[in-house]
Structure 1
Amino acid sequence: MRLLPSPLLSTSRRETWPLIRLALPICGAQLAQAGMSVVDIMMTGRQSATDLAAVSVGASLWLPLMLFMTGTLMGLTPIVAHLLGGGRRAGIRPSVHQALWIGLVMGMIAALLLSVAVDPVFALMEVPAPVASRASDYVGAVAFGMPGIAIFLALRAFSDGMNHTRPSLWISLVGLGVNIPCNYLLIYGGDGLVELLGAATPDWLAQMPALGAFGCGIATAISMWVMSLAMILYTQRSRAYGDIDLWHSASRPTAKLMGELLYVGLPIGVAIFVEVTLFTLIALFVASLGETVVAAHQVALNYTSVLFMLPLSLGMALTVRVGNTLGSGNLERARLVAWNGILVAVAVAVFNSLVLWSTAEPVVALYTHNPEVQALTLSLVGLAMLYQVSDSVQVALAGALRGYKDTRVIMVITLLSYWLVGLGGGHWLGEYGLGTWVEPMGVYGYWSGLIAGLTVAAVLLGERLRRRSKDTAWGKPRPVQAPTDRERQ
């Protein structure tokens, strides 16, 4: 008895390595960008507890905005992948320009919101005045970088759609490399440099003030603009994009192309925002359960989030592979490419579970020496091992559906699965249990809700991909269109 149908087995042999080769640089870029947040927390924590709290609170405002922009601009990736796969390269440049226009507008709106709207939010959150003051300064500094990161995200989506994912890795590493020394200089000021360099410190640097959280925000904004300029230079000079002269001349804003990008991208942005708010709200609910529970929850979530980068990157790479194949007009092969990606996601989930099982104790010991926190964290990591398959599969399914430009259904499924099942069900289990059968489960209830929500998402997205890929492959084929006059402009 064959374990795999021969067409899928044949596709797996041809597609698995190209998919992994695309995913690994994306994973590295994601880790590098996450590393910037880790560096910010570590370095401000050494300055003072108030600065650490200010950066943590401030990041809870600007990170969701940036992730919303990321998701929206990710709509460019399947568009470019379709055009490339269909040989309609002339249509790529104007589509990228529309993404840049949208990114600039979104970046400026985000900067405006972060500059003027944070103080009322901090007041509503009842953030202590010293923390709120420094957090406001931090967020105000980060705001200047939002247009820059929006440009980077648009160009990254273009490059990914062109099957060229390595630039995002190298440039993200450049951003991290800029962030660390800028953080040190601006957070600690001249005193920090004197401590590091001693008498070799120039007088003008030794007199720099320590800016704390505000300096961290400036360093973040500088890193964002450095990444943006580096990506502009790379796309301008690299030969990897062939005859696509992206910077030859600007395309004016076009309602049709912008509408297509927003039609595909906005639901992705909303879905990512929903996911982020899910974990934020769970953290707020768990906060009432005591310091030990909060600490264990944060450690377990942080640890497992690092491993999630691999299936997340696999889903982003799968968007490109499916989009390329659909663009070429090979609709049946696109279906096989999508389901092969799901099989790879299952293998990644098994790998992640093995990593959790074999490294949990020593890794958790690096986070905390408190035996109660360690024990509770390890029990939560055990639950995390249970949802690795559903989590990896659902993010890969979402990536495959994005390759089909089918993003609105992902948004609806995400809302139902994450908020209704994951958050609502988890809160009910945590606070009330199941009547006389199950006592209130506390933090375990919230994590059980996560497992249920991710499983429901995987089932619903799987059924959607089955129907969409089947209808596309076995329905009436859509011929590959020649470039239009507008696309040639």
Structure 2
Amino acid sequence: MSGPSKSELQLLLRAGTPLALASLVQTLVGTIAVAVAGRLGEGTLGAVGLGSAVYFTVAVLGVGVLLGIDPIVTQAVGRGDTEHARRALAQGLVLALLLCLPLGVLATRVVAGLHGIDLAPETLGSVHAYVWGRLPGLAPFLGFVVLRSSLAAEGRTGHVLTAAVAANLCVLASAPGLAEAHGPLGIGWAESLGAWVQAVVLLGCVRPRGLLRLVGRLELIVPMLRVGVPVGLALVLEYAVFAGVNLQVALLEPAALGAHQVAITWVGTLFMLPVGFGGAAAARVGQALGRGDVASARRAGVAALAIAVGFGAVAALPFLTIPRLLASWVTSDPHAISLALPLMGVAALALVADSAQAVLAGAVRGAGDTRFALLASLLGHYGLGLPVGFVLATRGGLGTTGLWLGLSVGLGSVALLLALRFIVVIAPLGRRAERCEPRSRESSLPAPWPGPECSPHPSLGPETSRLHP
């Protein structure tokens, strides 16, 4: 490995590790809520699980839209334009507030739509109460996404982990008492309180004084939406894929639902780590492009992919070597454990593919190339993954294993398409930039590109230029 590539790998690990751990720690909030709900009875547990699924489906759309700030703020930091980065932060927080009303209304409409399902009235009431308890935490949750992107762009990712730990401690301390007094509504309130703690901690880290005057004419809202809406749609589509597989398992092989839950629990938990490195990849690629150093952008993307594949391979080993032990940590049902064993091997493949696509999605997001990521998600999951899985499960007679094979095909296809996109767009730029660098390496500033041979690639130019009105 060359010196610059090794250095980039170290920088990514340094920035990405706190983000990865923070993503993993954030999943514990849901675990705490489920554990507290379980103490109130099976009905409350099911209602909190369903309500959480409704809330997360709506919230993830807002998360994706707000990730549109990534290329704007990272490229501003890269070119040393601190005021533009601060303006993007201020207007990103405004966008987070603007999204709260439509997303909140959407969440309540989805809950109202559950009345058409054959659920017990008390369960519907508990779902409704829980979601209403979560809604006060929507604004700080979305604000946290913007603040996290800003801190990641500056390389100050340790604060994100601190905020996530603080949120967990808050929920752990408040959830039992609130649940005892108010039931599912109290559990929702506890999670909302954790979201506020998380956001306030990060807000104190970004020096909030002076942000209000930078709101201005909200001229960056449209560029954020242009980049972020495809990300939000892609996240919802991917979430819908997993929900669709869950539904197909329930319809085709109900006895395997427990085994499916074992596999999805492990993959979903470990997947949060590459999500964090995807955020670091977006920051490093965006910073490099902001200062015109496309060679470094290429190295950042390649290093991020190496981390993702390496992590996926290491994390997949226990799936292949000790699957029974892993399954027993999720369930004590012997039948579910026996059915989970063949799934764990396929789940290992899905984890590697999912890790790669998560990090590559971050890399192309840093370049502002999010519409292709949405197209890749559509083609990979809905054009290949789901149809292949259904055919293998039904005509191939593989059942749930076939559905997981289809899921792996979809994730792998998305990763391959994103890798090709990154190679086609960034790598040629990197090679041209390296030829145009000055012979003297004393200066860290990139050399100017004097002619067509050293000019930016047309695929990147228009896309990134729109990010800086």
The whole-number CA distance in structure 2 between the counterparts of 1:214 and 1:275 is 29
* C-alpha distance 212-359 of structure 1, shift in aligned 2 (>3 A): farther
The whole-number CA distance in structure 2 between the counterparts of 1:12 and 1:359 is 34
Alignment of structure 1 residues 366-377 onto 2, 5 Å = 366-377=329-340
Alignment of structure 1 residues 102-141 onto 2, 5 Å = 102-115=95-108, 117-141=109-133
The whole-number CA distance in structure 2 between the counterparts of 1:99 and 1:120 is 30
Q: Paired residue for 1:362, among 289, 301, 325?
A: 325
Contact 1:11 1:340 in 2 (8 A): no
Counterpart check, 1:294 vs 2:257: yes
Alignment of structure 1 residues 468-483 onto 2, 5 Å = 468-473=425-430, 474=432, 476-477=454-455
The whole-number CA distance in structure 1 between the counterparts of 2:299 and 2:122 is 56
Alignment of structure 1 residues 73-152 onto 2, 5 Å = 73-115=66-108, 117-152=109-144
The whole-number CA distance in structure 1 between the counterparts of 2:158 and 2:80 is 22
Cα distance per residue 1:132-189 (max 9 Å; x no partner): 111011111111211121222211111112111111111111111111121100112x
Q: Could you say which residue in structure 2 is the equivalent of 1:219? A: 190
* C-alpha distance 250-403 of structure 1, shift in aligned 2 (>3 A): closer
| 1:54 shift after superposition | 0.8
Q: Could you say which residue in structure 1 is the equivalent of 2:224? A: 261
Contact 1:39 1:180 in 2 (8 A): yes
| 1:390 shift after superposition | 2.4
Contact 1:108 1:146 in 2 (8 A): no
Q: Could you say which residue in structure 1 is the equivalent of 2:435? A: none
Q: Could you say which residue in structure 2 is the equivalent of 1:174? A: 166
The whole-number CA distance in structure 1 between the counterparts of 2:6 and 2:111 is 55
The whole-number CA distance in structure 2 between the counterparts of 1:451 and 1:472 is 31
| 1:385 shift after superposition | 1.8
Contact 2:167 2:195 in 1 (8 A): yes
Counterpart check, 1:247 vs 2:214: no
Cα distance per residue 1:70-89 (max 9 Å; x no partner): 12112212211111111111
Q: Secondary structure at the match of 2:220?
A: helix
Cα distance per residue 1:94-118 (max 9 Å; x no partner): 1111111110011222223334x14
The whole-number CA distance in structure 2 between the counterparts of 1:100 and 1:181 is 28
Counterpart check, 1:394 vs 2:394: no
| 1:226 shift after superposition | 2.1
Cα distance per residue 1:191-234 (max 9 Å; x no partner): xxxxxxxxxxxxxxxxxxx3221111111122222222222223
Cα distance per residue 1:373-413 (max 9 Å; x no partner): 11211211111122333222222221211121111000111
Contact 2:51 2:130 in 1 (8 A): yes
| 1:345 shift after superposition | 2.0
| 1:248 shift after superposition | 6.1
Q: Could you say which residue in structure 1 is the equivalent of 2:346? A: 383
Q: Secondary structure at the match of 2:171?
A: helix
Contact 1:80 1:162 in 2 (8 A): no
Cα distance per residue 1:283-328 (max 9 Å; x no partner): 1111124553001101111012222122222222111111111111
The amino acid that maps onto 1:458 is: A
Contact 1:114 1:140 in 2 (8 A): no
Counterpart check, 1:347 vs 2:310: yes
Contact 1:111 1:144 in 2 (8 A): no
Q: Secondary structure at the match of 2:59?
A: helix
Aligned-CA RMSD value: 2.1
The amino acid that maps onto 1:384 is: A
The whole-number CA distance in structure 1 between the counterparts of 2:354 and 2:179 is 37
Counterpart check, 1:186 vs 2:147: no
Q: Could you say which residue in structure 2 is the equivalent of 1:440? A: 397
The whole-number CA distance in structure 2 between the counterparts of 1:126 and 1:75 is 39
Please give the TM-score of this superposition, normalised by the length of structure 1: 0.85
Cα distance per residue 1:18-53 (max 9 Å; x no partner): 101111111111112110111111110111111111
Matched residue pairs, number? 439
Q: Paired residue for 2:277, among 311, 314, 318?
A: 314
Q: Could you say which residue in structure 2 is the equivalent of 1:240? A: none
The whole-number CA distance in structure 2 between the counterparts of 1:361 and 1:341 is 31
Q: Secondary structure at the match of 2:2?
A: helix
Q: Could you say which residue in structure 2 is the equivalent of 1:203? A: none
The amino acid that maps onto 1:109 is: P
The whole-number CA distance in structure 2 between the counterparts of 1:37 and 1:246 is 35
Contact 1:43 1:183 in 2 (8 A): yes
Please give the TM-score of this superposition, normalised by the length of structure 2: 0.88
The whole-number CA distance in structure 2 between the counterparts of 1:246 and 1:357 is 53
* C-alpha distance 384-403 of structure 1, shift in aligned 2 (>3 A): same
* C-alpha distance 231-108 of structure 1, shift in aligned 2 (>3 A): farther
The whole-number CA distance in structure 2 between the counterparts of 1:458 and 1:113 is 31
Q: Paired residue for 1:60, among 53, 58, 62?
A: 53
Counterpart check, 1:326 vs 2:289: yes
